[in-house]
Structure 1
Amino acid sequence: MVDCDRLASRPLRILYLSWRDREHPEAGGSETFVERTAEILAEHGHQVTLFTARFPGAAATTWHDRVRVVRGGGRFGVYAHALRHLARHRDNYDLVLDVQNGVPFWSPLLARVPVVNIVHHVHRDQWPMVLGKQLGAVGWFLESRVAPWAYRRSDYVTVSEATRSDLAELGIARDRVSVVYSGNDQPADLDSYADIPRTAEPSLMVLGRLVPHKHNEVAIDVVAALAERYPTLQLHIVGSGYWEDALRAHAQSSGVGDRVNFHGFVTEAEKHRLLAESWVVLMPSQKEGWGLTIVEAGLHATPAIAFAYAGGVTESIVAGETGLLAADVPELVAQVDALLADNQLRGKYGANARRHARSFSWERTGTELEGHVRRIAVRARG
């Protein structure tokens, strides 16, 4: 009991295992969750080490504010390096946060402390898109069959009720899965963006990594479908990734190459400026655990539209209040048309989206995660 009381009050030594960190050129929403929650945990006095993959030009060790970052291995080698780090230092940690981005780090095989599996979304449909049919089948087998067995004694954390339900379909009991919604980066000068006018002509925006499963081709198809109705409609694609050349080719072949603007990776200030200027934000992704871009857009009263089957977006968007959810591409096109044509409706959704977005903060997210991991650590010791 003495050990439990001490563990319930003293700072925890936490090892965070993540595929990428915020400096990685392919970092996305999952990495934002990891970095922000790690920062909050460290600010609350916990000792946090983030183990992640190396990339060209990256230091082997560094600090992100109060979080120690250790890097080893590349895109696939990071898993072996992470396990080696855990084997060497497992007595130095009280708890492991293992981020399963499709494939987890298999930390229960070596850890002597509780492991919490953090899952943003299930990758059932993404495996064949990224690795092809055969390798994709192997990836899905590891995610859907092997990982649930390996983590059968672990608790889970996810970012939406939708993913919690997906995990239940894999045999992971709902009472083992806690939902901790993502926060929202609210710029200190947020109010200053309210003075930025919308673009004079209709404009759409997509924001995120340029990879196949984000389906940014659909946003280009929307522009092509509405080209005659809105002769000056523009699409702004913000983000970088290996799929950019394919997207550029698709825009040209669709006859809207001059309407699609590729901005690449931009600064935080530029990102928020573009969100504030846009009329509507699109998220045509196949699957999202939450949809961080949606609530970021909401800060600027910019409504969003996504596919209902994407999962977590059904919670980051309050359908019919802060934005819209489509069942398929034709319905998505119709919904974009409706919002572009109706200034009053777009303004109403935007005002609601702003209130919704401001209800999320990383401080709340980090504190909720802290509560869960503290209880898990104490329960395991008890």
Structure 2
Amino acid sequence: MTDACGGHVLFLNWRDTKHPEGGGSELFLERVAAELISLGYRVTLLCQAHGTAPAREITPEGMRIVRRGGRHTVYLMAALTYLMGALGFGPLSRRGLGRPDLIIDVGNGMPFLSKLYARRPVIALVHHVHREQWPVVFGPRVARIGWWIESRLAVRVYRNCSYITVSESTREELVGLGVDRHRINVVHNGTPEVTGRAVARTPYPSLMVLGRLVPHKRVEFALRATALLATELPDVELVVAGQGWWDEPLIQLAADLCIEDRVQFTGFVSEERKHELLCGSWLMLMPSLKEGWGLTIVEAGARGTPAVAFRSAGGVADAMVDGETGVLVENEYDFYLRVRELLLDARRRTAMGAAATTHARRFTWEKAGEAFAEVVAGQLPAIRTAPADQRVP
């Protein structure tokens, strides 16, 4: 790979990793941005403001963050901030950054459509297609508008742009929407190396769900499965690790199912606590409606914990080897049956866990960053290059 030096890359994303609802998309951005910085690029992230987070910040890795607008206005503020900076005033210009050489436009359902106003190369970063999620999160009218923007308008706006996505499943969906296959680059998520101390499995059947508590994650499926399992396995327990605005309905459902004593809602967990939970759990459950990748599946696999997820959920099929490192299911009843089978079959569960550990080693953030940088470098042929031994430390 040729190491680029000196280019300025602007990421447009609705959130950063410090946002209360930040997740895998934001982690992916942060990690590949760190790789770009190590190669000599200057990197800025423009995202929505939240809480007490400063309007401008520089991360320890050197990424500049500019926070503007709210949940729905960040898209307009991104355009205004870019245009103001291009005219010689505004946050980007005042930081001495000027116009970026390249824009990474991250579409989490709603794209920034930066190609309409930015006279710079644009790469569209799409983690997954939101066809199924629009009606779950919004009413039917808003869902139709949102899906039209994502599936029709965005495809036309970015018709001459390169794409990056995180799984073969999403690439196929984008092709189905009319994006040329040759313009789509797949860059898998990485998985941090496991460095924590070894933690023994719980002596009782234990399940875990890890992620944001929002409707399309369908944590309800895990709760209902736990209630059914409890009739046969009286000591089964479920840990729901994560936070989100859908927490109260989930807590109420656990009460309605009379399993409050079997379900632990942890809220946000530290990396150390997450490691302990992933090591101790017998199975990782991912009942999500749609995922661009299966980051928690691979994180669990790195600790020898197999997963159960839905085949229709997209990228999870790329993060798992069905039948070897975990199981993909077809519907909610099938979900319950496969979870039950694995809880009762220690030999198969252990073998799957060992295979999952081996599989997880294929995915590193170093590989992800290098692959991402290759795509970026291909869009900036005019940027001066430097030998590999001249990376910025």
Q: TM-score, normalised by structure 1?
A: 0.94
Q: How far 1:8 sits from its partner (Å)?
A: 7.8
Query: Partner of 1:144 in structure 2?
Result: 151
1:298 corresponds to: 301
1:222-371 matches, within 5 Å, as: 222-371=225-374
Superposed displacement of residue 9, structure 1: 4.4
Q: Secondary structure at the match of 1:92?
A: coil
After superposition, what is the alpha-carbon deviation per residue over 1:26-60, rounded to whole angstroms, capped at 9, x for unaligned?
Answer: 00111111111111111221100011110011100
Aligned-partner residue type, residue 63 of structure 1: I
CA contact (8 A) 1:8 1:378 kept: no
Aligned residue for 2:293, secondary structure, equals: coil
Q: Which amino acid aligns with 1:127?
A: W
Instruction: Check if 1:88 corresponds to 2:84.
Output: yes
Q: Using the TM superposition, give the Cα deviation of residue 378 of structure 1 relative to its aligned residue in structure 2, in angstroms.
A: 1.9
> Which residue is 2:26 aligned to?
31
SS of 1:139's partner is helix
Q: Structure 1's 82 and 253: CA in aligned 2 closer, same or farther, altered over 3 A?
A: same
Q: C-alpha root-mean-square deviation of aligned residues, in Å?
A: 1.5
CA deviation after TM superposition for structure 1 residue 379, in Å: 8.3
Q: In the TM superposition, what is the alpha-carbon distance from 1:85 to its structure 2 partner?
A: 2.0
What SS class does the counterpart of residue 334 from structure 2 fall into?
helix
1:193-237, CA deviations, whole angstroms, 9 ceiling, x for partnerless residues? 2xx111111000000000000000000011112111111100000
Counterpart contact for 2:128–2:292, Cα < 8 Å: yes
Q: Give the conservation status (yes or no) of the 8 Å contact 2:4–2:383.
A: no
Structure 2: distance between partners of 1:215 and 1:357? 25
- Seen in structure 2, the aligned counterparts of structure 1 residues 379 and 332 have a Cα distance that, compared at 3 Å, is farther
Residue type at the aligned position of 1:19: W
State the Cα deviation string for residues 72-120 of structure 1 (Å, max 9, x = none). Answer: 0010111111111221335621110010000111110111111000000
Which position in structure 2 is the counterpart of 1:40?
35
Q: Which amino acid aligns with 1:334?
A: L
Specify which of 214, 217, 222 is matched with residue 214 of structure 1: 217
Is 1:22 matched with 2:2?
no
Question: CA shift at 1:255, angstroms?
Answer: 2.1
For residues 295 and 376 of structure 2, what CA distance do their matches in structure 1 show?
Answer: 23
Which structure has more helix as a fraction of its residues? Answer: 1
CA contact (8 A) 2:289 2:313 kept: yes
Rounded to whole Å, the distance in 1 between the matches of 2:248 and 2:16 is 25
CA distance in structure 2 between the aligned counterparts of 1:47 and 1:380, rounded to whole angstroms:
12
Pick one of 69, 73, 78 that aligns with 1:73: 69
Match status 1:112 vs 2:119: yes
- Alignment partner of 1:98 out of 97, 105, 112: 105
**Partner SS state of residue 378, structure 1:** coil
Q: Which amino acid aligns with 1:64?
A: T
User: How many residues of Structure 1 are paired with residues of Structure 2 in the alignment?
Assistant: 371
For residue 226 of structure 1, give the secondary structure of its aligned residue in structure 2.
helix
1:280 alignment partner AA = L
Q: Distance in 2 between matches of 1:86 and 1:353?
A: 44
Aligned equivalents of 2:356 and 2:3: distance in 1? 38
8 Å CA contact 1:53–1:73 kept in 2: the answer is: yes
Q: Distance in 2 between matches of 1:74 and 1:137?
A: 22
Q: Are the equivalent residues in 1 in contact too, given 2:204–2:236 (CA < 8 A)? A: yes
Match of 2:6 in 1: 11
CA contact (8 A) 2:85 2:99 kept: yes
Q: Distance in 2 between matches of 1:281 and 1:8?
A: 39
What code does the residue aligned with 2:215 have? P
Q: In structure 2, how many angstroms separate the alpha carbons of the residues matched to 1:330 and 1:158?
A: 31
CA contact (8 A) 2:166 2:189 kept: yes
SS at match of 2:244: coil
Give 2:74's aligned amino acid. Answer: V
- CA gap of 1:257–1:373, structure 2 versus 1, over 3 A, is same
Paired residue for 2:93? none
Most deviating of 370-379 and 134-143: 370-379
The reply on whether 1:125 has 2:128 as its aligned counterpart is: no
Report SS of the residue matched to 2:49: coil
Amino acid at match of 2:147: W
- Equivalences for 1:172-187 in 2 at 5 Å? 172-187=179-194
Q: Partners of 2:3 and 2:35 in 1: how far apart?
A: 18
C-alpha separation in 2, matches of 1:272 and 1:8: 34
Q: TM-score, normalised by structure 2?
A: 0.92
Cα distance, 1:380 vs. partner? 11
Match 1:57 to one of 47, 52, 55: 52
Point out the more displaced range, 200-209 or 85-94. Answer: 85-94
How much identity, in percent, do the aligned residues show? 46
Q: C-alpha separation between the residues in 2 aligned to 1:171 and 1:147?
A: 11
Cα distance, 1:181 vs. partner? 0.4
